[in-house]
Amino acid sequence: MEKKRLGVLVSGRGSNLQALIDASKKDDYPAKVVVVISNKKEAYAIERAKKENIPVYVVKREDYRSKREYEEKIREILLEYKVDLVVLAGYMKIIGKTLLEAFPWRIINIHPSLLPSFPGLEAQKKAWEYGVKISGCTVHFVDEGIDSGPIIGQRAVLVYDDDTPETLAERILQEEHKLIVESVKKILTEEYEIIGRRVVFKKKGDENI
Ligand code: GRF
């Protein structure tokens, strides 16, 4: 099986990147990380990529005059590595028109809440403060909004009375690692349609969808 090619955009720790790298080592996993791009030179994700001999680029917004030029550089790298799917794994910038148009419905993001609840920063803390009893994580297609695109998959995590924002975030993170791996696999191996906001997976033998 020829593995599909993932380009992963990061800004920090890179544990979701690591989950994808680990999954890709299995022969039957349909994808491999071929390039990592970070907008922060101090991101620990860079070390993870280097350790695996995955090409890694630092592309910083402040080095470019406009968002368009910044994203053109990222686009150039992603095209050079012929990526089939772009994964935002803790990438802390909003994706603009340049990348959205270059990879239509080919950019996905992982977010640490059950969207549409708690989009944006510090989602786990916001969920904890709100007092929800169930939180979780979401993988979704990226559109022009913030954490707003069609949902590919979600995993639920119970909130315990003695949780802190940190313990909750840690349990959500464990589920994120599973969800990102299973979502990438689904997108790359199953047939689906995006109908309005709904990502509808076509079941085998179901000709009506
Ligand atoms: C994760 O919680 C992810 O959902 C959010 O940013 C965090 C990144 O963590 N978008 P890591 O860099 O993958 O460890």
- pLDDT of res. 203: 78
Query: Which residues are within 8 A (CB) of 121 and not within 5 positions of it... i.e. 6 or more apart?
Result: none
Probe ligand 1: pick from 16, 33, 87, max atoms within 8 Å of CB? 16
Probe ligand 1: pick from 110, 115, 147, max atoms within 8 Å of CB? 110
The ligand 1 site (C-beta within 6 Å) comprises 12-16, 89-90, 110-112, 173, 176
Residues identified as active-site: 111
The answer to whether 199 touches 108, Cβ cutoff 8 Å, is no
Give distance in angstroms: CA of 65 to centre of ligand 1: 27
- pLDDT of res. 205: 63
Residues of the chain with pLDDT under 50: 209
Query: Which residues are within 8 A (CB) of 167 and not within 5 positions of it... i.e. 6 or more apart?
Result: 160
The partner residues of 37 in beta bridges, in order of sequence, read 9, 57
- pLDDT of res. 206: 59
Q: Is the peptide bond before 116 cis (omega within 30 degrees of 0)?
A: yes
Count of all residues that appear for the chain in the document = 209
